[in-house]
Amino acid sequence: MDDNKFKGRPDGNGSGAGSGWAERVSLPDHLRPPLPDSRSSDEPVAAEEEEFALPVAEPDGEIPDTAASDGILPDPEEVDSAEPRTTPPDTVPVPEPEGAFDLDDPALYLNRELTWLNFNYRVLAEAADSRVPLLERLKFLAIVSSNLDEFFMKRIGGLKQQVGAGLAELSEDGRTPQQQIDECYTVVRDLEARKRDVFLEVASALAGHDIVIAGYDDLNEEDQEWVRRHYVENIYPLVTPQATDPAHPFPFISNLSLNLLVTLRLPGDPFPSLARVKVPVGTGTPRFLTLPDRNVFVPLEQVMAANLDLLFPGMEIDACELFRVTRNANTELEEDEADDLLAMIETELRQRRLAPIVRLEVVPGTDPVHRGMLAAELGLDEESDVFEMEGTLGLADLWQLVGVEAPDLKDRPHHPVDHPKIVSDRSIFHTIRDSGSLLVHHPYESFSTSVERFLSEASLDPKVRAIKMTVYRTSADSKAVDYLIEAARNGKQVTAVVELKARFDEAANIRWANRLSGYGIHVTYGVVGLKTHCKAVLVVRQDYDGLRRYAHIGTGNYHAGTARLYADIGLLTCDPDIGSDLTELFNYLTTGYKPRRNYRKILPAPKILKPAILEKIAREIEQHEEYGNGLIQMKLNALEDVDVTRALYEASRAGVKVDLVVRDTCRLRPGIEGLSTNVRVVSVVGRFLEHARVYYFHNGGDEEFYLG
């Protein structure tokens, strides 16, 4: 979602691509998965992303059983008209079994980009589901729109760079970059058409509850006068028309901006001229103007188009056409050539603003000459890169309407519970020490009374000597950062590893790094060439029997907002092995020195995690051959790594049961007779964004759990 919105990120690292870990967890009996037996062959749903994991001691926290019931993709037949609108087009043929399989055959692997787009059909199914409250359906429409914007910025932008560089290397599924672009465009056009239909249905239903998205021309005269007056007083001073003629070069068009192309002429002049007017959304100005005392929303671009006489007095307006552009976000520089990583990221952000345009959206009825002119000026192929969009452009702005006060049209409020062992009248350090480890499951269990309290007590406790923490994404009003500052003020040694390359949060993280440095906190930016994606806090405390290391490790960011929206798992522990491992990990992150480090329980990526996962899959095959009860279960954001996919094929072929819960991209094809018959893949989409990574290996009865 920012990253604070529910979304499947198209820039997933793939298995083992990042600095993360895995932790072994021993769960209570009632939470353990069943042993393999005869199962129904459910029709699987494909899904992308993954990174690391970490082994833990005995956790006492129980995972609430509501997690699985909060967002299973509905049966299309139970959703009003959902199937014709939300089923992705068939783009990849399933290979026919012909004896032994060649695991290098590209036909065995699904395309990363196409399966990520398929994930958005599943999100769109939520918007199409009449059982979902109306404003929540609107939210899912906004999410799909935001996801597609990011898809063009990151994935299509990257593929276009490959094409521009003359690269024709085939993807693991056997496609050239241009073939991937072409197939993605086919799917995107279908997805956009279905999204438009769902939007019209939802908008119509909202109107029945007096929440109306109205065109300017639909307003009565009194409302039009109010809107015009509001526009003149609050928005008009922000608007600057720009001529496009030989004396005025074609203006710069910013990323994701809405723009009006105005055709106008002097009275009696047979020759028209053109002007571009940017719709000033995103400068504190809302996309939709709201009528007083009513939930009537008018798109700002329509207000501006109807009042062009203010910008062009005395001119005749022949036409006003809306367009929107998307720029490439792939402007990464070479880190190992940078003298100052922070300065390099600041340069990268400036370059991203001027990056090549990868998509032009226009409305139906746009003059073909103007359409061609825009494509040429923006450096696009008119036939492929121009998307004619019926209806409202930029539906990500629907988030504004989701905030309407209408409790009956939203999910019932969710109130997390406190972890039963963390009580308010006892030090959280004493609780952790007595328990060994506590497993917390957000948002079902409170983030504020567990993780934030851990940081708060650490910042104030006079026995705490040092705090080390990774910062990947956090909120504007982050308590986590405030607690680090408070700890520094209280004389504790504080270290923050701030990841400057968190996609689309770079500017915010630069501000955090500067702010933390200003309080004397030791700030580093991780290891050159790697993203520090792991989430960890290490607290060193002087206990009665000497120094003890307390830690939090989790699958989610230290972000109170996403902790309410993302389904994540965290571990509070004083396990000495984990404390020792995290000490080594932070030493690596703050120095970049690469001597072999002897980790006891954590499996940091990229050097250790992937080989460990492959070794454990191979071990499960051996155990199955001996005991006949092989079982692998994984919950992932994405399964993108081909080597891991190939190993899971091998496990299935050997008879090991493989259960995968994959949120978005998935390269593995389940259900291929003789190859992946024993693999079941499901995708959970619902109220909360599934974000936790969990790995389970039956291991002949000596079960292993990893989280990360």
Active site residues: 533
Other residues' Cβ atoms within 10 Å of the Cβ of residue 326: 23
Alpha helices in 129-164 (DSSP H): 134-151, 157-164
> In degrees, to the nearest 5, what angle opens at C-alpha 604 toward C-alphas 6 and 153?
35
Other residues' Cβ atoms within 10 Å of the Cβ of residue 562: 25
Q: What single letter denotes the amino acid at residue 222?
A: E
Q: Are strands 522-524 and 493-498 parallel, antiparallel or unpaired?
A: parallel
Please enumerate in sequence order all residues whose Cβ is within 8 A of that of 669, keeping only pairs 6 or more positions apart, or say none: 46, 94, 95, 108, 109, 110, 676
Q: Alpha carbon of 646 to those of 260, 455, 675, 687: distances in Å?
A: 50, 41, 10, 32
Please enumerate in sequence order all residues whose Cβ is within 8 A of that of 703, keeping only pairs 6 or more positions apart, or say none: 26, 32, 696, 697
Query: How many Å apart are CA 554 and CA 308, to the nearest integer?
Result: 53
DSSP code per residue over 620-636: HHHHHHHHS--EEEEEE
Neighbouring-strand partners of residue 690:
567
Q: Alpha carbon of 414 to those of 64, 444, 614: distances in Å?
A: 13, 8, 39
Q: Are strands 295-299 and 211-213 parallel, antiparallel or unpaired?
A: parallel
Alpha carbon 382 to its chain's center: 30
Query: How many Å apart are CA 228 and CA 235, to the nearest integer?
Result: 10
Please enumerate in sequence order all residues whose Cβ is within 8 A of that of 238, keeping only pairs 6 or more positions apart, or say none: 280, 283, 285
Residue keyed to tokens 């991203």: 352
Please enumerate in sequence order all residues whose Cβ is within 8 A of that of 125, keeping only pairs 6 or more positions apart, or say none: 73, 74, 76, 79, 82, 86, 685
Phi, psi (deg, nearest 5) at residue 504 = 70, 5
Count CA atoms within 13 Å of residue 646 on its CB side: 15
Alpha carbon 120 to its chain's center: 12
Q: In what order do the strands lie in the sheet with 386-388?
A: 241-244, 273-279, 258-265, 316-327, 357-362, 386-388
Query: How many Å apart are CA 127 and CA 139, to the nearest integer?
Result: 8
Q: What single letter denotes the amino acid at residue 630?
A: G
Neighbouring-strand partners of residue 695:
634, 706
Phi, psi (deg, nearest 5) at residue 569 = -120, 140
Q: Are strands 288-290 and 211-213 parallel, antiparallel or unpaired?
A: unpaired
Q: In what order do the strands lie in the sheet with 679-682?
A: 23-24, 704-707, 694-697, 631-636, 657-662, 679-682
